Chain A
Amino acid sequence: MEDPSMNPTTHLSAVELEAFGAELDDLLRRTKEDLGERDLRYIRRVVRVQRAFEVAGRALLFAGFLPPAWVLGTASLAIAKIIENMEVGHNILHGQYDFTNDPALSSSTYEWDIVCPASQWRHSHNFLHHTFTNVRGVDHDLGYRLLRIDDDQPWRKATLLQPLYAVALALFFQWGVAAHDVDMRHYLLRPRERSVEDRAKVRELWRKAWRQTLKDYVLFPLLAGPFALWALLGALVANSVRNVWAFSVIFCGHFPEGAATFEPDTLEGETRGAFYLRQIRGSANFEGPRLLHFMSGHLSHQIEHHMFPDVPAHRYPEMGHEVRQICARYGVPYNTGTLRAQLWSVAKKICRLALPPRREPHRAARASGAAERGARAVV
């Protein structure tokens, strides 16, 4: 079902689109000029808090045989991993703090506390996903090669089980992310077709996976001596909590109903205005208290993040006010809702798309003529 009101690109002329882009570019310029002490102080404070949770979590888990210590230790470690991955690691790797010239905050050298090596993340996420956001066939984040998340993606019999895949992906999300840059299914099933580059990447991946596993599941438990099992369980639960949380935040970023997907030809000669428009139309925010924004690494502002990926994320709430005003003036929809509503929307979509399509989607899209200028509402 195509809803013309969901496709405002049709009423933005080339001139309007350029003005739209210029206003957003101006917001970017003003924000960048204002970057400085405040941002550095902010991220350093976050890093201090994160390390405090990490040390506290590990220490408490050494006494994990006491139920309160185990619960608090596991929670601390989960919080530490969430903050490190989302507000610190993900954002540093986007170059948000490169302006500080601090090597500890440098996108080219930072390594984060998750299985996926930072270098591969920079390729699959920073380059492919952020450049080709929601472009079918190019942005592999569109369903992670595992889920059918868009009407135009092909349906297979196995797709019927995709609600189960989604739950499994949530529980083991860090491994899903790790197996993402190199297409692991292809790599494992077709050993003869492995490229030299992929082999090197997989070696690097194993090395990192081994070091993460060694730390979380061997060394810390061994140090806990007779309470090794509690330490191991604590780390396992903490990693899983982080996995489910990261999965939820990220799935709310591009998959709720209303987030558009695009044809590859959208990218040809795309202007700044059209780029912003695609990012806004392909992303979705969620709302909530400040702590929720913080724990999501400010990916609750997925729209702002996709427009300005290298601006420190804690600036997104204040930029978001202006983005919303600009969008309202140009009649561009701004997809937001509560976390619960967005999650529910994603869950429904995963279940709905598990079923075979009732009609041929490509033909339907062309017939409705809504594919104009590449943006197409998926309703």
Chain B
Amino acid sequence: MNALGSRLLAALAYPRAVDDFVELALPLHSTREVRARVVSVRRETHDVATLRLQPNASWRGHRAGQHVALTVELRGVRRTRCFSIASADSESTIAITVKARPEGAVTPWLVSGVLEGAIVTLSQATGDFVLPDVLPERLLFVSGGSGITPVMAMLRSLVLRGHRGKIAFLHYAHSKDDVIFAAELDALARRASPNLMIQVCTGRFTAPALLALLPDFERWDTWACAPEPFLDALTGAFAARGAEDRVRVERFSLAPTDPSLGSGEVTFVRSRRRADGHGPLLGIAEKAGLAPASGCRRGICRTCTRKKISGVTRDLRTGQLSTDADVDIQLCVSAPVGPVAIDL
């Protein structure tokens, strides 16, 4: 009866979905996507803030260490960015801790707090940077800068569930003022639990420092999230002792793009082809032997609209740059600016 009822409702609402009507009264409601209300935005440091999100019923929960794609509306445009979840996996709300990138289009605005009370869209949590079901004897968490968030989620989850095994938590920040979650880490350190060791350092990570802290570090199962050179140094130290299998890393990096570039390497993801080229992506695709649907070839009809998965493109009519990932672009009037990946 229930299934029949929802089929009837769907037929009545066609070509809209029932949700399209329900969400007029209940903006958080959606059976199609995860929406969340921004409950609060709390400052952590001068350029970092934590957004606390209350997701709707579509949210399937997360495992500590996973990340989520957060979609917000900024000046009328939906923009999506990926963030690790910083809260423990058992909490009913989720926390995302964001560092404002000085040149960023989205992060400074997230940190500013104007989103408080707004409704945002989330992906389901994804990522395999997680703890195993059966926990190893010794757990080492290493992080640098804003890389602290996924390992903090792990630490918080373990503390909440009363884990009694050995945990070492090693965090590096630029300066004392840059330490995210400083008060919370301080409070945990002062608990003086013999199995929980928390060390916050400033400056650069070095292998000798790790050795000084944990002389037998190669015996610790390690989860690390930090900028690229940091991770290289860390995995190098483990490799030197033949223990590279102990380290699981989560990388975060943003390839900077030079907007003056007029060409780029284009990856057509679905058809698994690559091509170097300049000018309209449609031409590049066709030269690479692909035959995407197209029509007017001058930006009118939108037949060749495809998803840009990553990279920067320029609208050849207006010169506007499209920098976001996962947005629709028109192949016939978009040119690559540096490396681009297209869902084609």
Contacts and interface: CB of A to CB of B under 8 A. Distances in A.
B318 A131 contact: no
B31 to A, nearest CB: 14
A131 B319 contact: no
B24 to A, nearest CB: 6
A101 B15 contact: no
Contact of A111 (B15, B80, B301, B317): B15
B46 to A, nearest CB: 28
A215 B8 CA distance: 9
A104 B77 CA distance: 13
A211 B318 CA distance: 40
Contacts of B256: none
B158 to A, nearest CB: 37
A262 to B, nearest CB: 16
Interface residues of B, number: 34
A379 interface: no
A131 B21 contact: no
Of the candidates B14, B76, B328, the one having the most CB atoms from chain A within 10 angstroms of its own CB is B76
B213 interface: no
Given A219-B8, A309-B300, A32 B320 contact: yes
B174 interface: no
Interface string A14-58: 000000000001001100110111111100000010011001000
A155 interface: no
A136 interface: no
B320 A33 contact: yes
Interface of A is mostly: helix
A372 interface: no
Interface in A215-265: 215, 219-220, 223
A271 to B, nearest CB: 11
B251 interface: no
B204 interface: no
Nearest to A93: B302
Nearest to A129: B301
B127 interface: no
A100 B299 contact: no
A95 interface: yes
Contacts of A220: 12
A25 B318 CA distance: 8
B324 A101 contact: yes
Of the candidates B20, B301, B319, the one having the most CB atoms from chain A within 10 angstroms of its own CB is B301
Interface in B312-337: 315, 317-320, 324, 327-328, 330
Nearest to B306: A108
Contact of A40 (B76, B80, B303): B76
Contacts of B73: 40, 100, 102
A99 interface: yes
B296 A131 contact: yes
A55 B320 CA distance: 40
A310 B14 contact: no
A101 B296 CA distance: 22
Interface stretch (A119-127, A158-166, A336-344): A119-127
A7 interface: no
B34 to A, nearest CB: 13
B76 A36 contact: yes
19 contacts: A35-B76, A36-B76, A36-B77, A37-B75, A94-B302, A95-B302, A95-B305, A98-B302, A98-B305, A99-B76, A99-B77, A101-B79, A102-B78, A107-B328, A113-B16, A122-B303, A126-B303, A275-B298, A310-B300
Given A99-B76, A126-B303, A127-B295, 12 more contacts: A32-B318, A33-B320, A36-B75, A38-B76, A51-B20, A98-B302, A100-B76, A101-B79, A111-B15, A112-B15, A130-B301, A310-B299
